[in-house]
Amino acid sequence: MAPLSVCVYCGSRPGGDPAYMADAEGLGRGIAARGWRLVYGAGDVGLMGGVARATQTAGGNTFGVIPKHLVDWEVGKTDLTRYVVTETMHERKKVMFMNCDAVVVLPGGAGSLDELFEVLTWRQLGLHEKPVVLINTNGYWDPLLTLLDHVVSNGFADATLLDYFVSVPDAEGALAALERTG
């Protein structure tokens, strides 16, 4: 079996809790230690930079994808194993998703939410069956999990929506979940 390619969606900022960066770095080290490939947004800032640097430092393979309008803003990390510059955000998301076997979501903002909801929607529509793991560092995603329960309980999604991802407390939990899938 080929090594996993793990797409990581996460914040381009470090957030207010040092545990967020600790999980990003732990995830990066764990991806490298297992011989897996990191696929991510190619930024060198925030949690994105943390997960990439940790993967690289541990000797891992990195595949970064960034749209040309964010190269300066997110400080495009050009020393990756593979660095791809796209024309648009839509193209970035497509290239990242098409080059992964699984998705992990660390804490993040609107962009991370957009990416998560896109892969959940695609799964709901039967467009993929890739595992999706949500790292709920110190309960960061608790309000989102409550919202998803609310969406289901109010009839706007089938309960199977909640089966399309697994929520774990930390990077080690995410790595263990990925090991079980493949």
CA distances from 28 to 92, 94, 157, 165 (A): 20, 22, 33, 20
pLDDT in tens, 52-97: 999 999 999 999 999 999 888 778 899 999 999 999 999 999 999 9
Any idea how long the chain is? Answer: 182
Predicted structure pTM score? 0.96
**H helix or E strand, kind and range, residue 174:** helix 171-181
Q: Where are the domains of the chain?
A: 5-181
Which is more confidently placed, 77 or 104?
A: 104
Burial of 1 from C-beta contacts in 10 A (0-12 / 13-18 / 19+): exposed
Pairing of strands 37-40, 82-86: unpaired
Fill in the DSSP letter of residue 49: H
**Whether pLDDT at 1 is above 60:** no
Q: How many CA atoms lie within 13 A of 51 on its CB side?
A: 34
**Whether pLDDT at 145 is above 80:** yes
3-class DSSP assignment, residue 86: strand
Burial of 53 from C-beta contacts in 10 A (0-12 / 13-18 / 19+): middle
**CATH fold of 5-181, please?**
Rossmann fold (3.40.50)
CA distances from 43 to 4, 51, 63, 108, 151 (A): 21, 10, 11, 13, 32
Burial of 106 from C-beta contacts in 10 A (0-12 / 13-18 / 19+): buried
How far apart (Å, rounded) are the C-alpha atoms in residues 181 and 125? 21
pLDDT in tens, 149-178: 999 999 999 999 999 999 999 999 999 999
Contact of 61 with 54, CB cutoff 8 Å: no
pLDDT on residue 154: 98
